[in-house]
Amino acid sequence: MTTGLKTPSSYYMTLINTFPPRPITNDAEFNATQAQIHLILDRSQLTQDDRDYLKVLGMLVYDYEEQYEPMPMLKGIELLKALMEESNLQPDALVSIFGSESVVLDVLNHKSQLTEHQTQALASFFHLSPDSFA
């Protein structure tokens, strides 16, 4: 007998039977799984069963995206722009690295190249390899 596994509630079984989690193999299944996720997330109160089910669906979406929608490999200034957007940073947040906001803007607008010192400082700031900004 296996211990540690709890018997699923009737509500959890309803979730499973309404939209059975299966590996996603195409865009239609991907879209349907995302729609199911949003349907549950739109509820005002999520139960532990909802959260458990969402975790399973989320893993399926993640697996599909990893296999069929690889992240583009960004480097240099494009990576810097993406990191700034993701972190909701404005150019003035990088003045300590670049010396002035105008230098930050020049780099972001491809009017200036990153120096070795800036590359090292950005790598440290974002916890990445300096090669990411080369």
Nearest-angstrom CA–CA distance, 47 and 56: 14
Nearest-angstrom CA–CA distance, 6 and 49: 12
Residue 105: predicted pLDDT:
96
Residue 54: predicted pLDDT:
96
Dihedral sign (CA 22, 24, 29, 31): positive
Q: Give residue 38's Cα distance to chain centre.
A: 17
Residue 4: predicted pLDDT:
64
List the beta strands (DSSP E) in the chain: none
> Which among 23, 22, 19 is positioned nearest to 37, based on CA atoms?
19
Residue 71: predicted pLDDT:
65
Domain 76-133 -> CATH class: mainly alpha
Secondary structure element (H or E) that encloses residue 117, with its range: helix 116-126
pTM: 0.53
Nearest-angstrom CA–CA distance, 79 and 59: 26
Where the chain has pLDDT below 50, the residues are 1
Residue 2: predicted pLDDT:
54
Nearest-angstrom CA–CA distance, 11 and 102: 57
Residue 24: predicted pLDDT:
96
Residue 27: predicted pLDDT:
92
Summarised one tens digit per residue, pLDDT across range 28-58 is 999 999 999 999 999 989 999 999 999 999 9
